[in-house]
Amino acid sequence: MINRDINIDGMQKVFRKGPLRTILIIGVLFLVLMIFKPWVQIGAGERGIVLNFGAVQDKVLNEGMHFRMPIMQKVIIMDVKVQKAQTDASSASSDLQDVTLSVALNYHIIPDKANIVYQTIGVEFKERIIDPAIQEVTKAVSAKYSAEELITKRPAVSTAMKEALTEKLMASNIAVDAVSIVTFSFSKVFMDAIEAKQTAEQHALKAKRDLDRIKIEAEQTVAAATAEAEALRLQKMNISPDLIELRKIEANLKAIEKWNGILPQVTGGGAVPFIGVSDLQKK
């Protein structure tokens, strides 16, 4: 008993010492804070859902540091950044062709409604809301287009899907940022028919181009013949007796220029034959 009393007295003396007592109190408080953690930190692109004994509160915590009541309050952190969901969906076109689409959806939780999303849907909203919505919208939109139009009018199909998904998911406080069709897949029979049609169109286009080329060449030939005939007609209209006489004179002058100055041999009658212009021309 004596030893026990001595130990108690010693401890009391230690606690009476000011600095050591203060350090001990601070240590105890730090330990309590680490155990109960009366604060919560909300990161960038996140929101905090406050629960009072499990009941969702109206207040949504923004980014930053917030304090909570230990034991009574719990804070659930939800990501409200843009997220991606890619879903494969099978449907039929308006011409009853089977088509499989892979649709990528960019979405985010409306930040101010994060508490309602958690309360009504939970954190598994992709599996519960988004994937079924994509399946339903894909079937509804695909039924409005033929299989060929799903390919040729791809931007219009994406826009129609985005509008339908925006309206449907907004009821669950989920905002749609973008919708894109990643891939289309059709039956082999249909793809072979599309390829054959494209080949036929290419051959028809080539034949049309060849026909246009032949037509242009024929028109060019006719134009050249017409121009040549018109030139001959104009030349014929310009021919006159004076022009004919002038051409004869020009021919005689050319013949004289070619004469070498030697007269023809004298015949038996002794007369000097007359050199005509026509003779000179023959030389």
pLDDT, one tens digit per residue, over 58-80 is 889 999 888 888 888 888 899 99
- Within this chain, do residues 178 and 100 fall inside the same structural domain, yes or no? yes
Instruction: Please indicate, yes or no, if residue 4 is contained in any of the structural domains.
Output: yes
What are the start-end ranges of the E strands in 149-209? Answer: 174-186
- How many domains are there within the chain? 3
Cα→Cα distances 201→80, 137, 252, Å: 50, 33, 69
The pTM score is 0.57
State the amino acid at position 46 in one-letter form.
E
Residues 208-267 pLDDT 10s? 887 788 888 878 887 777 877 777 666 666 666 666 676 777 777 777 777 666 655 555
Q: 25 is in which domain, residue-wise?
A: 1-36
Please report whether residue 105 resides in a domain. Answer: yes
Residues 150, 105 share a domain = yes
Asked if residue 124 and residue 73 are part of one domain, the reply reads no
In a domain, 93, yes or no: yes
24 plus 8 within the same structural domain: yes
- Dihedral angle at the C-alpha atoms of 203, 208, 211, 213, nearest 10 degrees? -100
Q: Answer yes or no: is 59 within a domain.
A: yes
Final residue belonging to a domain, choices 168, 186, 204: 186
Residues 178, 85 contacting (CB under 8 angstroms): no
